[in-house]
Amino acid sequence: MDGLNLNFGLGGGSEPEVETVLNDAPRPEVENVIIIGSGPAGWSAGIYTGRANLRPLLITGNELGGQVAITNEVENYPGFPEGLTGPELAEKMQAQAQKFGTAVEIDYVTEIDVAGPPFGVKTASGKHYRANALIVATGASPRKLGVPGEERLTGRGVSYCATCDGFFFRGKELVVVGGGDSALEEALFLTRFATKIRVIHRRAQLRAGATLKRRAESNPRIEFVWNSVVTRIDGENKVESVTLKNTATGAVSELRTDGVFIYVGHLPNNQFFQGKLAMDELGYLITDKLMRTSVPGIFAAGEIQDHRFRQVATSVGQGVAAAMETEKYLAELEDRAYPGHTAYIEPLRRFVSRF
């Protein structure tokens, strides 16, 4: 690989010696791998493909750092017992990926051409890349209610992640919006901290499955407010109340609360994969255990292909797996392009190792 000068552990110390690779080194005409997305899955794929000397190029998307970068505090990511903020974790991941040679483009992918390799990638700034492999890590975004106060108070009482933020509401009263599995699962999780959780649902029947429904209905800390939608969220510097509108009678009321957890679904960021990569009925990319999508050479990791776990740690694992499989795929591709390549390289490696 051109332009790289990585040197792992040759000094014999416990710390690997690493020469940082400059991002402004000339790029090849066809990239080895382009990583699309800058959440935990994307940075992890960058760290691993970078360390594998693949000179990855990562295109960030509009939200640098992904969902974790808008999370108050992360206390459940292994290795940080004292916790750290979401932006801190995102920055550390980015620094680590760049340290190992991941080039970063702050840009937004608008189109991919899957008739490869090489695959085509077009961006909002008008750039056109080609790459022998792609790792898609575009994530998902929580569906928003779109009501006044929601955006302003996000991170100040409005949250889309009970696992991330529930701990900060010990002894408080909360509102959960939604009637699906996520709303009830997260409401049940929040009963560990909050004294009262009111689930606001726009209809009188839950969408959630029977088991979660039974557990939520029998939990003394959970109360249901039926046929109601949140029309605004109020509070000076943090959430203080929500305004509710009854969908049956039209009656408007105010409900005081310390926090609002919104679970009205997630939207996978799949806009430019429509008709190109196989998706499930919810719009998430379909991958196998090796993180392969329906097109050989295109891998996916993180929430673009996982709506079940949705944790930083699981996205990191998936990013690592996608990177390792990409490395393998590229080696096989190279082998096909230069038959006998490995047959020649292996004896040479053994010869060199004797000295």
Active-site positions read 161, 164-165
- Per-position x/- string for 137-156, each x denoting binding to ligand NAP as judged by CB under 6 A, each - no binding: --------x-----------
Of the pair 104, 264, the CB lying nearest ligand NAP is at 264
* Residue 285 near residue 278 (C-beta atoms within 8 A): yes
Adjacent-strand bridge partners of 244:
230, 253
Closest residue by beta carbon to ligand NAP:
180
Alpha-carbon distance 87 to 69, whole Å?
A: 4
What is the rounded distance in angstroms from the CA atom of residue 268 to the CA atom of residue 205?
26
Q: Which of 80, 23, 57, 90 minimizes the C-alpha distance to 326?
A: 57
Q: What's the one-letter identity of residue 7?
A: N
With binding defined as CB under 6 A, does residue 176 bind ligand NAP?
no
Q: Please report how close the Cβ of residue 132 comes to ligand NAP at its closest, in angstroms.
A: 34
In the complex, least distance from residue 49 CB atom to ligand NAP, rounded to whole angstroms: 30
Note the Cα 119 to chain centre separation in Å: 23
Q: Is 90 exposed, middle or buried (0-12, 13-18, 19+ CB in 10 A)?
A: buried
Pick the stretch among 46-54, 179-187, 290-298, 314-322 that binds ligand NAP (CB under 6 A): 179-187
Smallest distance from the beta carbon of 250 to ligand NAP, in angstroms? Answer: 16
Q: What are phi and psi of 55, to 5 degrees?
A: 50, 55
Which of 207, 213, 215, 232 touches ligand NAP by CB under 6 A?
Answer: 207
Work out which of 92, 127, 203, 328 binds ligand NAP, going by CB under 6 A. 203
Query: Which helix (H) or strand (E) is 298 found in, with range?
Result: strand 298-300
What span, in angstroms and rounded, lies between the C-alpha atoms of 276 and 268? 15
- Taking CB under 6 A as the binding criterion, the range among 115-123, 173-181, 270-278, 325-333 that sits at the site for ligand NAP is 173-181
Among 94, 123, 138, 182, binds ligand NAP (CB under 6 A): 182
Span 221-280, contacts to ligand NAP by CB under 6 A: 229, 263-266
Q: How far apart are CA 47 and CA 206, in angstroms?
A: 43
**DSSP element (H, E) containing 44:** helix 40-51
The one among 117, 179, 235, 297 contacting ligand NAP by CB under 6 A: 179
Residues 301-330 that bind ligand NAP (CB under 6 A): 307
Question: Both tokens of residue 14?
Answer: 């416990």
Least Å distance between CB 208 and ligand NAP? 7
Q: Identify the residue among 56, 178, 268, 319 touching ligand NAP (CB under 6 A).
A: 178
Interacting residues toward ligand NAP by CB under 6 A: 145, 177-183, 185, 202-203, 207, 229, 263-266, 307
